[in-house]
Amino acid sequence: MEEDYVKEIFVFKFPTCTTAQEYKLEISLQIPYQGSIKELVHRTMLAFKLPCYIENDLFESIESAVKQLTMKFHDEKSEKCIDAAVQGDLDVEDIIKNWEKMYKQKTVEYAEPLGTTDEELFAAAYHRLVHSPSLEPILQTEHKYGKDVTEVIQMRDAAQEQLTRKQTEEMRLAVETLETGSTEKSISEMAGRHFEEMSLLQGHWGSRVDALKLEQRRQYRNWIMRLLEEQQTSMLSSPVESPMVPVSTIRPGLENFVRSDEKSSTDFPQLEESFTIHLGSQMKQMHNIRILTGDVLDFCRTKRGDSGIDPTPQRLQTALGLYSNDLCGVVLLSDSNLGSFSGITRELCSICQLTTEFHFPPIDDQLEKIRDDVKDAVAWRQAHQKEDHDSQVKKSSSKVLQTGDVFITRHSNLAQVHVVFHMVVNDSLRSGDINSRHPAILGLRNILKNACCNDVTTLTIPVLLVHEMTEDMTVAWCTKRAELVFKCVKGFMIEMASWGGAELKNLQFLVPKGMSDDVFGTLATMLPSIFRVSNPLVFKATSTPQTPKK
């Protein structure tokens, strides 16, 4: 191979101050020169004990020579490459391999990973097993683990309820005997003692639940890795025994799953309409649009079967798509409190805590991590606000999340959801005066963008931007709000086509429970008119040619 450098002799002449004699200095330079010219001049003057008055001239001469020689070197090298390309002597494949090697060595995006983490190994093992005959015992094991956790949580709730009744009765008797025997001091001491008792009880059961989940997570992961290893080594046609479920309960196929329609049809009457649309200016993309009534948390709850250990089909689809490019997401409208203490986030946390999270951190840990990250986000927002009177007013209320902000949690133990988009809202959404520039509408745009960029192909959106119906939501209010959301989402989906990433295949508009059939029919009729549902063209074949009408 041709060397990437050449050696050149640099000549520098300088006179003396006392005589007319001229000295000549020769320095060997490696072109292209990669070092510091100032450092080279300093070392040269020390090595040859040169006078100090030539330092500036020597630096300028060497710097000019290095530039000229470097340009000459690259020109000659380029001319050789051009001549080789013209004559056909250039090996294109060798150049491609060299560029590929340089990209892998110098660019992080194209570099090969140095090693695989335990999380990646477990994810690959789980994804492979759920697409094999091991799917059913895996779901049954998860269901059995979840049943054990649910039993402990029920015992915890019963103990807390019993203690609450006991403390309530003690407090009632103390208040009734306030004038005869009890005093305000004794009642205050009793209230403090009750608080300590409840705190100790909650801590006891909390530690018990956490210990059970940690042990289940450890056993489950070890079993998954052992199951994959045994299947690869022995090439078993049937899965090995689960650590929690007896072999007699493992039957081939999915016949023992409880049918979801039998269990959910009696919950509440569900109204729904489905459409197929095509959006896009040039490259049309097909989307499935559905509008339905229901509770948003029904997409998270797992229906329990009467057979005890039989998992429901809801978990089947979630498990198959967990490590795929077809994730399912739902938009949850929450308040600005990042915690599991109030609102719909508390209900979601209660659902998540009924079973063990085997793949991602528990929801409490995810919210705690988000709570820490929000501090940096709020600081960035404050630093980038304009210094005027309006922004000063905003700064006083920007210490927490604002309306339209979105934070995301990941889940593997919910019924039909992998990703939950928590969008912060406030009471301003109950008015009918919002427009397309409202922060909540812009939050929907950010959600659609994140879904597109992260392989979320099924998304459920509350069409009225509320989860419950109230008396002030009239027919005109519902129609106006739904029309705004439909039009904005349609525009975001058209814009989404230029963002790249995954295609949003299924979009569901969720209507709160309690809406009348007439109002739902109005919204269902409005949906195809806004999205312009594609209808097939019907042509009639005739024996004689027809001239198209102008």
Q: Write the DSSP string, 374-401.
A: HHHHHHHHHHTS-SSHHHHHHHTT-SS-
pLDDT for residue 120: 84
Q: Which residues contact 379 (CB under 8 A, 6 or more apart)?
A: none
pLDDT for residue 247: 36
CB atoms within 10 A of CB 205: 17
How do beta strands 419-424 and 456-462 pair? unpaired
Average pLDDT, the chain: 79
pLDDT for residue 382: 79
pLDDT tens figures, 299-337: 888 776 544 445 566 678 888 888 888 899 999 988 877
For residue 118, the Cα-to-chain-centroid distance in whole angstroms is 20
Q: Above 80 in pLDDT, residue 274?
A: yes
pLDDT for residue 305: 53
pLDDT tens figures, 36-88: 888 888 888 888 888 888 888 889 998 898 999 889 888 888 888 888 888 87
pLDDT tens figures, 444-500: 999 998 888 888 889 999 998 888 888 888 888 888 999 999 989 888 888 877 766
pLDDT for residue 501: 62
Flag the least confident range among 248-257, 291-300, 541-550. 248-257
pLDDT for residue 548: 55
pLDDT for residue 420: 92
* C-alpha Rg value of the chain to the nearest Å: 36
Among candidates 135, 85, 467, 141, which has minimal Cα distance to 299? Answer: 467
Q: Above 60 in pLDDT, residue 121?
A: yes
pLDDT tens figures, 173-211: 888 776 666 677 888 888 888 898 888 988 888 889 889
CB atoms within 10 A of CB 10: 19
pLDDT for residue 181: 66
Q: Above 50 in pLDDT, residue 394?
A: no
pLDDT for residue 258: 36
pLDDT (mean) for 91-101: 83
Return the DSSP state at 47: H
- ∠ CA 505-510-515 to the nearest 5 degrees? 150
pLDDT bracket for residue 27 (50, 70, 90):
confident
User: To which CATH superfamily is domain 268-303+311-338+402-531 assigned?
Assistant: Leucine Aminopeptidase, subunit E, domain 1 (3.40.220.10)
pLDDT tens figures, 428-447: 888 777 888 898 999 999 99
pLDDT tens figures, 239-262: 444 454 443 333 333 333 333 343
Q: What are phi and psi of 137, to 5 degrees?
A: -65, -30
pLDDT for residue 419: 92
Among candidates 353, 304, 299, 302, which has minimal Cα distance to 330? Answer: 299
Is residue 366 within 8 Å of 410, Cβ to Cβ? yes
Provide, for the chain, the percentages of residues in helix, strand and coil under a 3-state DSSP scheme, each rounded to the nearest 5. 50, 15, 35
pLDDT (mean) for 222-232: 86
pLDDT bracket for residue 3 (50, 70, 90):
low
Flag the least confident range among 83-92, 116-125, 527-536. 527-536
User: How many CA atoms lie less than 13 Å away from 301 in the CB half-sphere?
Assistant: 14
CA dihedral 263, 265, 269, 275 (to 10 degrees): 110
pLDDT (mean) for 507-530: 87
pLDDT for residue 202: 86
Q: Above 80 in pLDDT, residue 534?
A: no
pLDDT bracket for residue 113 (50, 70, 90):
low
Q: Which residues contact 234 (CB under 8 A, 6 or more apart)?
A: none
pTM above 0.75, yes or no: no
pLDDT for residue 282: 64
Is residue 318 within 8 Å of 265, Cβ to Cβ? no
pLDDT for residue 176: 78
The fraction of the chain above a pLDDT of 70, given in percent, is 81
How do beta strands 456-462 and 327-334 pair? parallel
pLDDT for residue 461: 92
Q: What are phi and psi of 438, to 5 degrees?
A: -65, 145
